Chain A
């Protein structure tokens, strides 16, 4: 009776790295896209294709990167956060006001991050414990946070920020490697651990795919959701550092609109499903770079801002179509295999 019905995968040898599968993975497709954009850029404007251009391109795209990483977790749950840009501005305001009042800069920065976490906690509480749909909650709270900023700042802008803000955004290590990129890669590594290696990440996959089953399996679904929204708030706070720095150290209430949409689009391009439970962190990391290169390249090609938006929109739709098409053909293959396996029994 006790025949080994499960074919034990030989655990001493790793699964066997298949180069073919790896090269066809979505993450690699994204790398190809990135390379193609680079080739186009170097052909169209060979005069501008230099180290300093590449550095500017990367630096221009890094302020959204913390939002992208936070959004990966939120989307993993099957939720969404469209208030993150408003939270980012709110956090900037917290820091800026504190600096204006002569608070030491390190504490001002921490106050900014704390402001972000609090905003995230409000979102998370309403979504997880009150049970409101995330999209409604964050649309409303986005208006709320921006409204508060508008009342406090009116038409003024805050100009007093810690000096390292600008250097984080614009400096290069040894004149070569952008500081912001290093920061992004460090955060990326932390998020790869968080989502793909830790128990917390596994819980997100479980909740995103089947929250009811998660509850039956003894996972505190509400608490996990709250934490994710607080992390999103924290990441919005970190984004405020890069954002204010990129803007040259000033912030006003109307800045940063549309950043939330960029973050969501980048995640989706990176292979994260808005239905939850699907995707990894690698994809959105590469997608962040793609978005930076795409906008900058179009700019260098003298395409005006509005047309740039149109092109970016079309590129996104095509990319997502490709990924959907791949998923459905994958699913077909899988169901075919399992049907055959059943027949064989």
Chain B
């Protein structure tokens, strides 16, 4: 028998042209808690899905108890004793706790009738050691997030899981709930379960893990004993990247403040956010996923207007109640999710480009499609969009070119402020460079740009100023020339103060 219960060697997984995992290694010892860390988009989630059989790797080997295995489905992996608890709890909210635990493995009589009494009893027996105050007959939706996670753990235990994967379980828990979860996790470890604990929080890692593996940009960086690596080395391992030649020269001249956001709050999302942006400036809004960046952008753009606070645009206080108001003022948003918010895949490229402002193509009450096409071609050439036909649907394009269609759509409107929410998400490195070029050109021609980004090097390579958000508040404002990636990461994680 091997020393490792689970071992992955040289695992490669690509989606279309995007490499999500590039020759990744991982070794899990029996009965250990192993932390897996890395920035957003480092490949952690894909990695879990490869282990549980959601995705099949393009190449590489996976060894379970020293024997090579391949899983075609989550069903196979769960029969081998692998269970995963995902970041976004995947329960059925309207079904009871018992029903959730036994979903797909119901206890039946010979006639195929469900034995609910037996299942309820077993569910109680599983849940009680984890938390005494969960009623197994209540629907899942009445439980707190922490309790729901415990139910997921109980579900894993009911399947005799030997390997438990937890994907950022502490992300939305309070301090007390975290402590409870730590204790349960340790107890499981003592009972012989091997645990992969994925987290952003250094606190989790120090409290629980004996070893840590770091991924960065789909690559395996290394694994260390937790007590033998310093905080700084670990941060370096997570972010350390060459910055040279990945970002174009900046040419924009920074002008006056064009928009000021003052003290805006939105219940449940963010509180007292203030910042401003100048003409020709690229302002980066960064922080962890879930820190409230997207929500702030959507508030400014009028998708979900803030509860309180002021937005001052060109010296005047404005009231933006919908994207219609925002566009009229000259504020545009490149949404985070291209597919559902940015593009209409069924309509031709040129109709996508003109969709946000059709008024200039109307002649005698009729939409002049020839004019639309002409304008779309002009804009697409300006940003070097590669497409065979302006009437083709955007779904025929690569990710980078799809994003350029959304850019062209914004350029078709007469805008002054562009809010770009993760403009390079899911785009390969080469295409990223040309997106940066577009951003620089736009800044040079006087646009003010607010860029939301999770990628630290991108933030440093492109931005003139950095605002860090943490749990819905501004954690600090930095000058990229003075700050280091470590200071930014510290601000977004708040390593020293120990988190909230």
What chain B residues lie within 8 Å of A8 (beta carbons)? 377, 390
Considering only CB atoms, which chain A residue lies closest to B369 in the complex? A197
In chain B, residues 393-441, which have Cβ atoms closer than 8 Å to a Cβ of chain A? 393, 395-396, 398, 409, 413
Question: Is B355 an interface residue, CB under 8 A from the partner?
Answer: yes
With contact pairs A6-B377, A213-B343, A341-B388 given, residues A11 and B370 touching in the complex (Cβ less than 8 Å): yes
Q: When the two chains form the complex, which single residue of A1, A197, A202, A216 contacts B335, counting CB atoms closer than 8 Å? A: A216
Question: Is B374 an interface residue, CB under 8 A from the partner?
Answer: yes
Question: Is A328 an interface residue, CB under 8 A from the partner?
Answer: no
In the complex, how many angstroms separate the beta carbon of B365 from the nearest chain A beta carbon? 7
A337, B396: Cβ atoms closer than 8 Å: yes
Question: Is A42 an interface residue, CB under 8 A from the partner?
Answer: no
Cα A337 to Cα B397 with chains together (Å) = 11
Question: Helix, strand, loop or mixed for chain B's interface?
Answer: loop
In the complex, how many angstroms separate the beta carbon of A17 from the nearest chain B beta carbon? 15
Question: Is A326 an interface residue, CB under 8 A from the partner?
Answer: no
Contact with B along A222-246 (1 / 0, CB 8 A): 0000000000000000000000000
B409, A210: Cβ atoms closer than 8 Å: no
A7, B389: Cβ atoms closer than 8 Å: yes
Q: When the two chains form the complex, which single residue of B341, B366, B367, B373 contacts A9, counting CB atoms closer than 8 Å? A: B373
In the complex, how many angstroms separate the beta carbon of A224 from the nearest chain B beta carbon? 12
A11, B373: Cβ atoms closer than 8 Å: yes
What chain A residues lie within 8 Å of B391 (beta carbons)? 9
B333, A216: Cβ atoms closer than 8 Å: yes
Contact with B along A183-218 (1 / 0, CB 8 A): 000000000010001110110011001101111111
Question: Is B97 an interface residue, CB under 8 A from the partner?
Answer: no
Question: Is B324 an interface residue, CB under 8 A from the partner?
Answer: yes
What chain B residues lie within 8 Å of A218 (beta carbons)? 322-324, 326-327, 356-357, 413
Question: Is B296 an interface residue, CB under 8 A from the partner?
Answer: no
Question: Is A100 an interface residue, CB under 8 A from the partner?
Answer: no
Interface residues of B (CB under 8 A from A): 301, 303, 322-324, 326-327, 333, 335, 340-347, 351, 355-359, 362, 365-367, 370, 373-374, 377, 380-381, 384-393, 395-396, 398, 409, 413
6 A-B pairs with the lowest CB-CB distances in the bound complex, closest first = A338-B396, A217-B356, A218-B327, A209-B346, A217-B355, A210-B344
Q: What are 29 inter-chain pairs, A to B, with CB distance below 8 A? A: A2-B381, A5-B380, A5-B385, A6-B380, A7-B388, A8-B390, A9-B373, A9-B389, A198-B365, A199-B359, A199-B367, A205-B344, A209-B344, A209-B345, A209-B347, A212-B341, A213-B341, A215-B303, A215-B323, A216-B301, A216-B342, A217-B356, A218-B322, A218-B327, A220-B324, A334-B396, A338-B392, A341-B388, A342-B398
Known: A215-B322, A217-B409. 16 other contacts (CB 8 A): A1-B384, A5-B385, A6-B381, A7-B388, A11-B373, A198-B365, A199-B367, A205-B351, A206-B347, A209-B345, A213-B341, A213-B355, A214-B344, A216-B342, A218-B324, A338-B395
